[in-house]
Amino acid sequence: MKPTLLVLAAGMGSRYGSLKQMDGIGPHGEAIIDYSIYDAIRAGFGRVVFVIRHSFEKEFREVFSPERFGGRIAVDYVFQELDKLPEGFSVPEGRVKPWGTNHALLMGAETIREEPFAVINADDFYGAEAYRTIGDYLVSLAGGRNKYCMVGYRLENTLSDFGSVSRGICATDAEGNLTDVVERTYIVREGDRILYRDERENLVPISGDSLVSMNMFGFTPDYFRYSADYFPEFLREKTDNPKAEFFIPLMVNRLISSGKASMRVLSSEAKWFGVTYKEDRPAVVEKLRALIAADVYPENLWNR
């Protein structure tokens, strides 16, 4: 059973200033999404499901249509909206912020029912090896339950030179299973130090060697049920916080701490890079050009 790739592309790119999911950074207008799909195809994924918003559906479908990929992979679309809530809940007054990555992931339950799946951010470049690593592991999970995985990266290699980033700081046991992941929504480099903002708004030093999640997770479909069951409780707890988000690490931590599931942290030498701010774009363009020059990717990705 081939795994599916679930691409979280509903973010509006507020810090970037535009819909960065569709920004052409390759030689022939390829977006980071294109390279992700190309790597996923080579790693044996059979389908891609895009999580988007109705507000830019037409534009997104015109760019990332099934025809773009030349029949190499099946394509589906699902939608994350503020009002996609459990029965009995409504959007709180003043709420404008999306409900977070695990809410976006939940949208995949509409079409992913049997096969294992990987989750990625649309605007992150994970590297071909990361897709091979997680793809192989997901194939081994087919038909199973409660055993998940993620690809980890060194914090030092995931920062932006132009502002703060959000990362999940991970801890593992001797067997390489995740024991804890804490979402830090403000991590920044200042001189030769890396700092994060804690719950009391203090800036705390952190090692560049820290293992972080870049939202490249692997699950089996039972994860949807766990998430759907907990989401109402999350909403009741956070009803007075207009910025609260239902993050994937929050759900993963809950399952691990309760003993319901385990998550293997997969080692990979893949190099991550991404476009958080517009100022990141030139460096990403140069990195892609270097990979093309090294024959990792063809110059014209889809031979259009």
pLDDT in tens, 204-248: 999 999 999 888 999 999 999 999 999 999 999 988 888 899 999
Query: What sections of the chain are H helices per DSSP?
Result: 32-42, 57-63, 101-106, 128-141, 222-237, 248-258, 281-293
Here the tokens at position 53 are: 């918003």
**Is residue 299 one of the residues assigned to a domain?**
no
* Statement: residue 17 has pLDDT above 80: no
**Is residue 269 one of the residues assigned to a domain?**
yes
For residue 183, give the CATH number of its domain. Answer: 3.90.550.10
**Is residue 251 one of the residues assigned to a domain?**
yes
**Is residue 303 one of the residues assigned to a domain?**
no
- Residue with the bigger pLDDT between 277 and 36: it is 36
pLDDT in tens, 241-296: 888 999 998 999 999 999 999 999 997 777 788 877 788 889 889 999 999 999 99
Of 139, 74, 85, 138, which Cα lies nearest the Cα of 107? 85
**Is residue 298 one of the residues assigned to a domain?**
no
Single-letter code of the amino acid located at 143 = G
Q: What is the mean pLDDT of the chain?
A: 91
pLDDT in tens, 54-107: 998 998 898 899 999 999 999 999 999 999 999 999 998 888 888 999 999 999
**Is residue 84 one of the residues assigned to a domain?**
yes
For residue 25, give the 3-state DSSP assignment: coil
For residue 72, give the 3-state DSSP assignment: coil
Determine contact, residues 102/247, Cβ cutoff 8 Å.
yes
Tell how strand 211-219 and strand 74-79 pair up: unpaired
241: number of CA atoms within 13 Å, CB side? Answer: 10
Here the tokens at position 199 are: 């719950």
Q: At 18, is the pLDDT very low, low, confident or very high (cuts 50, 70, 90)? A: very low
Average pLDDT over residues 145-157: 93
Determine contact, residues 109/6, Cβ cutoff 8 Å.
no
Determine contact, residues 265/150, Cβ cutoff 8 Å.
yes
| Domain hosting residue 39, numbered range | 4-293
Q: How many domains does the chain have?
A: 1
Residue with tokens 């949208």: 107
Helix axes 248-258, 222-237, angle to 10 degrees: 110
* Statement: residue 16 has pLDDT above 50: no
pTM: 0.89
